Structure 1
Amino acid sequence: MTLTETTGRHAAVSAVPVCVSAGRAAQELTLKRGEFDLAVHLGLIGTEPASGGARPRIRQQEIDRLRALPGFPESVRGQVRTAGTAEGATLLGVSTVRFTGLARIGCISPVAFYLNRYRAVVWLYLVDELLAFAAREPDLIAGKSPVGMRVMLEAGTDWRARNWRSRRIDRLLGRTEDPWARAALQASALDPVQLAEVVEDPYERAYLARVRPDSAFGRPGSVSGREVMMRLMLADDPDEILWRRVNLTLELDQAREIRPAPRPGYDPALRVAPDRLASDRLSREHMVPERPMAVRTAPHRTMPPGPGQRAGQTGRASRRPAGRPGAGQGLLVRVGLRKPWRRDR
């Protein structure tokens, strides 16, 4: 072997990034495992995607970057410091009842939770966000509760689980560009009945369950903890359910245009076109906001038949095969807000 070949081989080996496991990374960053998992969830620690179902790993270069920050390790630990209701109320200088009321109406949103000895959900809040809220909204901290706040609490409003779901799904959406994985995240907030109404094709539902991303890290926990997690993942408010159904429908439209869901006879060589992923990223500005406004549907226009089309067959129908469930139906029909139009009426 010549000197040039030896040098080239060593250069290729050195170019491969050195990665370590989550436990090793948490130890080097002097973080507890819960703090480390939350830092990854918040995007404070970058991860390397893994294939074949393996756990994501951390680059040694990322660990060195964090260790070089001024004030390490408090500079990292302080960003993931959380507080429960009692500690949060003390930080804000309010009663626990007032603090809980502020959380229930969505003024402050939980970032994590755990189960206490009675298997009750204990919500956790980022300390930095609590202090920022106190500086931003001093009138809600001191003095009498506003009338709107009292009305919402008397009506039983509690948006803590909803806001936690939204934060979690939004974080996971920011980690993936795959259209089917994004649709799976929207589908994860719907129960099986709601999901079957939006996604009628059983092969598509099975594919969504298979490609749904999970949190990058996090230990499985007890059986009761997993059961609570599954309950908290499901939307339980009509507005939130509608929001997820509409966004799932829009994500599915983009996913189906890039590649179909696998079914018997599926060719595994079928891959996502990179140019379609780039255009898909630009189209996300049309996603429905959390408080959905009235959905307008564009009037149907009959286009002249193109090459290979019969008279009366439109370009819109040609993009969606008639054999696929929901083909040719409008958005309101597909999310369950309008009954399908029948010709024999």
Structure 2
Amino acid sequence: MAGNTITKPSDLSCAPSRAARELGLKRGEFDLAVHLGRIRTAPDEDGGGRRVAHAEIDRLRSADGFPETLLESVRTVGTTDGAALMQVTSARFTRLARLGLVVPVRFYLNRYRAVVWLYLAEELRQFAADKNHTALLNGRTPEGMRDQLQEGLDLRPRNWRGRHLGFLLRQADGPWERAGALAALLDPVQVAEMVQDPYERAYLNRFRPDPPAHGAPGSPAAHLSERIMTAEDPDEISWLRADLAQVLDEARGHRPAPRPTAEPTAPRSTVERAAPRPTGELTASRATGEPAGSPPTAEPVGPLLSLSERPPEQEPGPEPQRSRGMLGWLRRRSA
């Protein structure tokens, strides 16, 4: 019956792979659009990954210039194409990137394990169109910037981490998730210094996202990706630790980290009543005339003798009355 049909939450949304197909995007383009906030997602109520509502897909499809506008908003270029887009040399483009004037949005490792940074084409066009940047694009690099470059300044990894952290925080659904996002950019040793409780640290690690996958786990490519993911500059580490401490306080008040609970112990009287008494103890209680249910006496019971080994019992005779004084002593002497 149509009137009694129950609409499930999963019927109102779809998986990212299907959403990417309906929007005409490759999976990498779709993930980048989600990172940039172009596509809104929601957590799966059944405990799976994030999903995209059909209403969100309809909103994007109804936008002016779809799908070209959406595709252009997630188009990325490397150094060579980025320099051509900004009409500068590749060397000048690299200097601008190392100075942090253009910010990478993604990276990957080529077959030589060299880091290849990718930039949004849309942002590069906006940078080149700004008249305030004309001197940086066409003139001589200022002396202070040249000194920084000669000292080895390279802000590309740090700027990427800042951008990636913004994405992780947008996806966080609670304070523990936000704490995990901040911890993901810190070295595990730094996190262990701040969170010394092992149960709390283990709970925090559940919400700590992994770095972007590059190579098999434990491979040189994976280690390089982890190094890019980890903050190195002292000032960057300082503000990450400060933010993490603040969010951890909020997370503890929101939901304390779970701890193992001790197994309940039965009361002592119950254990004593439930425990069966040994056979020897029952025999001893009968031999001593104690009730079967009475507790054992403090004195230990010796070995039991068979009937043939027991000495014959003698009836006790009347106890003689003891004479008193000197007269009694004389009588006993003369007897």
Q: TM-score, normalised by structure 2?
A: 0.71
Q: Decide which of 215, 219, 236 is 1:222's aligned counterpart.
A: 215
Matched-pair contact (CA < 8 Å) for 2:176–2:204: yes
Matched-pair contact (CA < 8 Å) for 2:96–2:102: yes
Q: Decide which of 3, 9, 14 is 2:4's aligned counterpart.
A: 9
SS in structure 2 of the partner of residue 45 of structure 1: coil
User: Unaligned regions of 5+ residues in structure 2, if any?
Assistant: 263-335
AA at the equivalent of 1:231? R
Instruction: Write the distance in 2 (CA, Å) between the matches of 1:166 and 1:154.
Output: 24
User: Unaligned regions of 5+ residues in structure 1, if any?
Assistant: 1-5, 267-345
Find the counterpart in structure 2 of residue 147 from structure 1: 143
Shift, 1:165, TM fit: 0.6
Select the structure of larger CA radius of gyration.
2
| 1:74 and 2:68 matched | yes
| 1:138 and 2:131 matched | no
Matched-pair contact (CA < 8 Å) for 2:214–2:225: no
Q: Deviations over 1:42-74 (max 9, x none)?
A: 111111212565221222222222122222111
| 1:102 and 2:96 matched | yes
Find the counterpart in structure 2 of residue 232 from structure 1: 228
Q: Relative to structure 1, is the Cα distance of residues 52 and 230 closer, same or farther in structure 2, using a 3 angstrom cutoff?
A: farther
Find the counterpart in structure 1 of residue 288 from structure 2: none
| 1:91 and 2:85 matched | yes
Q: Relative to structure 1, is the Cα distance of residues 110 and 132 closer, same or farther in structure 2, using a 3 angstrom cutoff?
A: same
Q: Relative to structure 1, is the Cα distance of residues 14 and 204 closer, same or farther in structure 2, using a 3 angstrom cutoff?
A: closer
AA at the equivalent of 1:46? R
AA at the equivalent of 1:48? A
AA at the equivalent of 2:92? R
AA at the equivalent of 2:215? S
AA at the equivalent of 2:90? T
Shift, 1:259, TM fit: 2.2
SS in structure 1 of the partner of residue 238 of structure 2: helix
Find the counterpart in structure 1 of residue 49 from structure 2: 55
Instruction: Write the distance in 1 (CA, Å) between the matches of 2:187 and 2:15.
Output: 34
Aligned residues: 257
Q: Relative to structure 1, is the Cα distance of residues 148 and 101 closer, same or farther in structure 2, using a 3 angstrom cutoff?
A: same
Question: RMSD of aligned C-alpha atoms?
Answer: 2.1
Matched-pair contact (CA < 8 Å) for 1:181–1:213: no
- Which stretch of the first structure deviates more once superposed, 51-60 or 194-203? 51-60
Instruction: Write the distance in 2 (CA, Å) between the matches of 1:14 and 1:49.
Output: 15
Q: Relative to structure 1, is the Cα distance of residues 243 and 58 closer, same or farther in structure 2, using a 3 angstrom cutoff?
A: same
Shift, 1:265, TM fit: 2.5
SS in structure 2 of the partner of residue 254 of structure 1: helix
Instruction: Write the distance in 2 (CA, Å) between the matches of 1:148 and 1:53.
Output: 52
Matched-pair contact (CA < 8 Å) for 1:82–1:127: yes
Find the counterpart in structure 2 of residue 192 from structure 1: 188
Higher relative CO (CA 8 A, sep ≥ 6), structure 1 or 2?
A: 1
AA at the equivalent of 1:186? L
Q: Relative to structure 1, is the Cα distance of residues 91 and 253 closer, same or farther in structure 2, using a 3 angstrom cutoff?
A: same
Q: TM-score, normalised by structure 1?
A: 0.69
- 1:1-345 equivalent positions in 2, closer than 5 A: 6=1, 8-10=3-5, 12-13=6-7, 17-51=11-45, 53-136=47-130, 137-213=133-209, 220=213, 222-223=215-216, 224=219, 225-265=221-261
